[in-house]
Amino acid sequence: MPHLVAICYRMRQNLLPPKFKTLAEAKSLDIRKQLGLRSTQACPARLVAELYNVSVTASSSLLEVLQADLRELFPDQALYSERLTWVSNPECKFSALAAIVGEHRMILYNDSNSLARQESDIMHELAHIICEHPGDCLQLNADIALRQHNDSHEEEAKWLGATLQVPDQGLYQLVRAGHTTERIAEIYGCSIEMAIYRRRITAVDRRLSYIKPKPQF
């Protein structure tokens, strides 16, 4: 059903509110400015987390804490170890989650994923926090509510997270300077898939093709 797929794709694209992409780009540049970074430089997710007072915790360290704390409570160590290891198992699909406990905000991420993947996972959760998506965080200060899937919030976090990593302005300059997609991924500390995605979705190459070459004398 290729037509249906195309329609669904367009519908998903329309889930972003008007001007969201422009605001996301402005946010990406503003955060870089606050961190003293240029648009052609990587903006590490952990620095953005610091800026927003969000603590970032690796699932493996949480596992160690839990194992230490629970050892005395649960005599059947094999059972609790088996149940806890899922968070740091590469086979499980866990990427990251954001949690809010009172004023404290934290992101738990799966550090068994690649560094590039960790960057985009953390940035995605930060995007939820920056957008103040109420249903997208684990709210531990009130009734515990696991993430409720909200398509438009997911699209916003996906777009903003990716824009924070690879801003249009910097990408344009790097492509214009002749850098390859692989080099651009290296510069931003993102995956090659992310660099390809941003290069395609921002239509950088098409926009550059409109620039008339300067006459040669």
The 3-class SS string of 129-176 reads: HHCCCHHHCEECCCCCCCCCCCHHHHHHHHHHHHHHHCCHHHHHHHHH
CB of residue 33 vs Zn ion: minimum separation in angstroms? 26
Give the nearer residue to Zn ion in terms of CB position, either 162 or 195. Answer: 162
Distance CA 47, CA 102 (A): 22
CB of residue 157 vs Zn ion: minimum separation in angstroms? 4
Q: Which stretch binds Zn ion (CB under 5 A): 150-158, 166-174, 183-191, 203-211?
A: 150-158
Identity of residue 47: L
Give the nearer residue to Zn ion in terms of CB position, either 133 or 172. Answer: 133
Report the DSSP pairing between strands 104-109 and 138-139. unpaired
| φ, ψ at 196 (rounded to 5°) | -65, -45
CB of residue 96 vs Zn ion: minimum separation in angstroms? 9
User: Contact between 108 and Zn ion (CB under 5 A)?
Assistant: no
Distance CA 125, CA 110 (A): 12
CB of residue 183 vs Zn ion: minimum separation in angstroms? 29
Give the nearer residue to Zn ion in terms of CB position, either 80 or 197. Answer: 197
Q: Which stretch binds Zn ion (CB under 5 A): 6-14, 78-86, 149-157, 181-189?
A: 149-157
CB of residue 133 vs Zn ion: minimum separation in angstroms? 8
Report the DSSP pairing between strands 96-101 and 138-139. parallel
Give the nearer residue to Zn ion in terms of CB position, either 121 or 204. Answer: 121
Give the nearer residue to Zn ion in terms of CB position, either 81 or 191. Answer: 191
Using Cβ positions, the residue closest to Zn ion within the complex turns out to be 157
Q: Which stretch binds Zn ion (CB under 5 A): 24-32, 152-160, 182-190, 203-211?
A: 152-160
Give the nearer residue to Zn ion in terms of CB position, either 157 or 185. Answer: 157
Tell me how far CA of residue 166 lies from CA of 13, 132, 140, 141, in angstroms. 19, 21, 32, 33
Candidates 62, 61, 63, 28; CA nearest to 47 is: 28
Distance CA 97, CA 109 (A): 7
Rounded (5°) CA angle 14-28-204: 65
Size of the site for Zn ion (CB under 5 A): 2
CB of residue 124 vs Zn ion: minimum separation in angstroms? 5
User: Contact between 157 and Zn ion (CB under 5 A)?
Assistant: yes
Question: By the criterion CB under 5 A, which residues form the site for Zn ion?
Answer: 154, 157
